[in-house]
Structure formats: structure tokens, C-alpha cells
Amino acid sequence: MSNEQNQITPAGLQELKREVEATKEQRPTLIKALQHARSLGDLSENAEYSSAKRDLRHLESRLRFLNKKIQYAEVVASPVSTNKVKLGHFVTVEFLDDADQVTYQIVGQQEVDLKQAKISLSSPLGKALLNHRVDDVISIKAPAGDYQVKIIDIKNKG
């Protein structure tokens, strides 16, 4: 796993920690459901017991996964300077094939959310934008085909 995939913004780390806490809050309910299902008798033919046990295992697995993400995360603070694209920056690009302009935030792999226009620094576009400046025209090699973008603006906040 490359170092880029472990990088995360401070906001991304806080979101992971919030998810851990929210997941932990579900544990007592699932344990009670398992205890109730166990009290129903024969465990070999008890679908409610099997389901409750599976749900608790899934929760514990999710907690381990999230804790590993936090453990191996390298928090990278947003740079003060906006003269070059870095992790955490909001970058407005113009797609030269159709003049469409979109603003993306460059984030770590764990934070990707295309609905919120958060793209990974290891994605083809994110990787190509890193360390470039406003007015740079960049060629991106993507699985669906090559294209060019021009950097219109770089900001610390959206």
C-alpha cells in the first residue's frame, strides 16, 4: 500500500472517529438482541440467534476496520499556501473538451465521496493535479480515455 493511500485530512480523521463512536453506541443493543435470542432455547434452529450473532460480528468487524484506518492514517494538515495543489485543497478545473467547470477537494483514499466532489489524491485526476498551479493545463490518463483540464482556482476552503 502506498503512502498516499494512508494520507488523510484532519476533517477526514475526525469523521472516522465519529463513525467509530457511532458504531460503538450500537453494540449494547446488538448484545441485548443476542442475549434475548439465546434465551429462546435451541440455538441450532434459532434464526433470530444466528442473525443477532451475525449482526454483532459485523459490527465488531467494522470497528476493527475503522480502527486500522485510524491507526495507519497519516494526517496531513491543509497547507497554508495555495500556489500549488496539495491534499485538502479545493481545486476548480475546467474540462477542455466541453468547458465544464467543477470544484473538487483533494482528499485521502478514506475520504472519497463523489457526491460531495471529494476525489482521492491517488485517482487519475487527483494524482495529475498535485503540485500544479493555477492556469496549468494537465493531461490526464484515465481508464475511460485521456482528457485535459485547466486549473482555474485553488483554495483552502470550499
Per residue in 28-85, pLDDT (tens digit) is: 999 999 988 888 777 777 788 889 999 999 999 999 999 998 998 888 876 777 789 9
pTM of structure: 0.72
Judgement on whether residues 7 and 70 belong to the same structural domain of the protein: yes
pLDDT digits (tens, 9 = 90+) for 78-128: 677 778 999 999 999 999 989 899 999 999 888 899 999 999 998 999 999
Structural domain harbouring 138: 90-155
pLDDT confidence band for 5 (50 / 70 / 90): low
Rounded CA gap, 34 and 23, in Å? 17
What is the pLDDT at residue 14?
93
Q: Look-up: residue for cell 485535459?
A: 148
Rounded CA gap, 5 and 138, in Å? 22
Phi, psi of 110 (to 5 degrees): -70, -20
Residue 51 is which amino acid? S
Rounded CA gap, 106 and 125, in Å? 9
Tally of domains within the chain: 2
Judgement on whether residues 97 and 53 belong to the same structural domain of the protein: no
